[in-house]
Amino acid sequence: AQRVTQPEKLLSVFKGAPVELKCNYSYSGSPELFWYVQYSRQRLQLLLRHISRESIKGFTADLNKGETSFHLKKPFAQEEDSAMYYCALSGPGGFKTIFGAGTRLFVKA
Amino acid sequence: EAGVVQSPRYKIIEKKQPVAFWCNPISGHNTLYWYLQNLGQGPELLIRYENEEAVDDSQLPKDRFSAERLKGVDSTLKIQPAELGDSAVYLCASSRQGVDEQFFGPGTRLTVL
């Protein structure tokens, strides 16, 4: 079955500490992976996608096909990173977009 | 640019009543999505349109839910009759094409009493 799993509902770190939000997926094929973010009182928006291989706001994510993971990482968390983060995948042609349940990141001062 | 527009933002109805949600995607975006988001969960795809064609509606409960995108622009999602379990946020998103970045609207929060 196709699935996106985010094992942590809540992740709390101190400002300046490294952060890693975990995402594992199950998909029979080659999906495209995304991280979406929702800041307080804002819309859900794209943070990054694996094919672009960019670093956005200091965040990076590497697709590990062997471990079927797409973990989101940032070496030094900032208070403004506090938000809800969703991992998502899409199949070929964009079909079957599936979101994980989300991880709430709280960065403490 | 306003981005994806949804209305209403909030809706409270009694069970068994009908309800409709409206979405206006970003100009030029051919792909439109409707999602359901329950509290504490991620968005779940209900239906996806490519222009006016519904290309993925496998998760749409067709006994009570219906959707249309008649001219390939605006879309309406309807529930008739609503049930208590339909209380959720209904999100609309659009993209230039299927695997492109999705732009989300603010959502409609439905409460069924």
Residues A37, B98 contacting (CB under 8 angstroms): no
Number of CB atoms found within 10 A of residue A75's CB? 12
Q: Which residue of B has its CA nearest to A10?
A: B40
Question: What pLDDT, on the 0 to 100 scale, is given for residue A69?
Answer: 95
B69 closest CA partner among B11, B3, B5, B22: B22
B99/A102 CB distance under 8 A: no
Could you tell me the pLDDT band of residue B1, with boundaries at 50, 70 and 90? low
Could you tell me the pLDDT band of residue B85, with boundaries at 50, 70 and 90? very high
DSSP state of A64: B
User: pLDDT digit string (tens) for A7-29?
Assistant: 999 999 999 999 999 999 999 88
Cα torsion A91, A92, A96, A101: sign? positive
A86/B98 CB distance under 8 A: no
Task: Tell me the CA distances in angstroms from B77 to A96, B35, B90, one per residue in order.
Answer: 19, 10, 9
Residue A4 with chain B: CB contacts under 8 Å: 42
Q: For chains A and B, what is the number of CB pairs under 8 angstroms?
A: 55
Residue A96 with chain B: CB contacts under 8 Å: 45, 56
B104/A9 CB distance under 8 A: no
Of A46, A93, A100, the CB nearest to B101: A46
Question: What pLDDT, on the 0 to 100 scale, is given for residue B67?
Answer: 97
Whether A93 has a pLDDT exceeding 90, the answer reads no
Of B33, B42, B48, the CB nearest to A101: B42
Could you tell me the pLDDT band of residue B81, with boundaries at 50, 70 and 90? very high
